[in-house]
Amino acid sequence: MTENRERTRCGLVALIGRPNVGKTTLLNRMVGEKLAAITRKPHTTRNRILGIVTQGSTQTVLIDTPGIDPERSRLMNQVLNRTAVQALSDADIVCFIVEAGRFEDGDRFILDAIRSAGRPTVLVVNKVDRVADKTVLLPFLEARAQEHDYLAVVPLSGKTGRNLQGLVDELGRHLPEGPFLYDPEQLSDRPERFRAEEMIREALLERLGQEVPYAVAVQVEGWEDRPGITHIDALILVERQSQKGIVIGKGGQMLKRIGQAARQQLEGLLGRKIMLRLTVRVEEGWSQSNRALRELGIEEPR
Ligand SMILES: Nc1nc2c(ncn2[C@@H]2O[C@H](COP(=O)(O)OP(=O)(O)OP(=O)(O)O)[C@@H](O)[C@H]2O)c(=O)[nH]1
Ligand SMILES: [Mg+2]
What pLDDT, in 10s, does the model give residues 204-228? 998 887 767 778 899 999 999 999 9
Burial class from Cβ neighbours inside 10 Å (0-12, 13-18, 19+) for residue 182 reads middle
- CATH code where residue 112 lies: 3.40.50.300
Nearest CA to ligand 1 atom 26: 40
Flag the least confident range among 35-44, 50-59, 70-79, 129-138.
70-79
140/210 same-domain check = no
**Residue 127 and residue 164 in one domain:** yes
Domain-terminating residue out of 117, 143, 174: 174
Q: Where does residue 273 fall: left (phi above 0), alpha (psi -120 to 50 degrees), or beta otherwise?
A: beta
Q: Give residue 24's pLDDT band: very low, low, confident or very high (50, 70, 90).
A: very high
pLDDT on residue 72: 65
**4, pLDDT greater than 60:** no
Determine whether the shortest distance from the Cβ of 38 to ligand 1 is under 6 A. Answer: yes
Q: Name the closest ligand to CA 17.
A: 1
Instruction: Report how many domains make up the chain.
Output: 2
Based on the domain organization, do 140 and 84 belong to the same domain?
Answer: yes
Number of the ligand closest to the Cα of 96: 1
Q: What is the mean pLDDT of residues 105-120?
A: 94
Residue 301 lies in a domain: no
pLDDT at 6: 55
pLDDT for residue 295: 75
pLDDT of residue 83: 85
pLDDT in tens, 161-191: 999 999 999 999 999 999 999 999 999 998 8
pLDDT score of 46? 86
Ligand closest to 101 (CA) is 1
Task: Evaluate whether residue 254 is within a structural domain.
Answer: yes
Give yes or no for residue 42 CB within 6 A of ligand 1: yes
Q: Examine residue 139 and state whether it is found in any structural domain, yes or no.
A: yes
* CA-closest candidate to residue 265, choices 276, 254, 255: 276
Residues 200 and 166 in one domain: no
In a domain, 184, yes or no: no
| Separation CA 162–CA 296 (nearest Å) | 35
What average pLDDT does range 66-72 have in this prediction? 83
Please give the model's pTM, rounded to 2 decimal places. Answer: 0.91
Quote the pLDDT of residue 2: 46
What percentage of the chain carries pLDDT values higher than 90? Answer: 71
**Residue 244 identity:** K
- Residue 213 Cβ inside 6 Å of ligand 1? The answer reads no
1: confidence class by pLDDT, cuts 50, 70, 90: very low
The total of other beta-carbon atoms located within 10 Å of residue 13's CB is 24
**pLDDT of 80 above 90:** no
Give me the amino acid identity at 81. Answer: N
Of 38, 43, 130, 157, the residue with max ligand 1 atoms within 8 A of its CB, to mutate for a pocket test, comes to 38
**Domain assignment of residue 205, given as a range:** 192-295
Atom number of ligand 1 nearest to Cα 28: 15
Q: For the chain, what is the mean pLDDT?
A: 91
Q: Is the CB of 77 under 6 A from ligand 1?
A: no
The DSSP element (H or E) to which 90 belongs, if any, is: helix 75-90
260 in the same domain as 143: no
* Residues with C-beta atoms within 5 A of ion ligand 2: 23-24, 44-45
Residues 124-162: tens digit of each pLDDT: 999 999 998 888 899 999 999 999 999 999 999 999 999
Q: What angle do CA 291, 294, 297 make, to 5 degrees?
A: 155
Distance from C-alpha of 208 to C-alpha of 211, rounded to nearest angstrom: 8
Alpha carbon separation from 274 to 27, 117, 202 (Å, rounded): 25, 44, 17
* Atom 8 of ligand 1, residue of closest alpha carbon: 22
Residue 300 lies in a domain: no
Task: Answer whether 129 contacts ligand 1 (Cβ < 6 A).
Answer: yes
Write the pLDDT tens digit of every residue in 243-270.
999 999 999 999 999 999 999 999 998 8
**Residue 40 near ligand 1, beta carbon < 6 Å:** yes
- Cα(4) to centroid(ligand 2), Å: 35
Ligand nearest to the CA of 19: 1
d(CA 192, CA 164): 26
| Same domain? 115 vs 28 | yes
Domain shared by 207 and 74, yes or no: no
Q: For ligand 1, what atom is nearest to the CA of residue 21?
A: 19
Provide the pLDDT for residue 302. Answer: 55
- pLDDT at res. 211: 67
Q: What is the residue type of 234?
A: A
Asked whether residue 159 falls in the same domain as residue 197, the answer is no
With bands split at pLDDT 50, 70 and 90, how would you rate the model's confidence at 85? confident
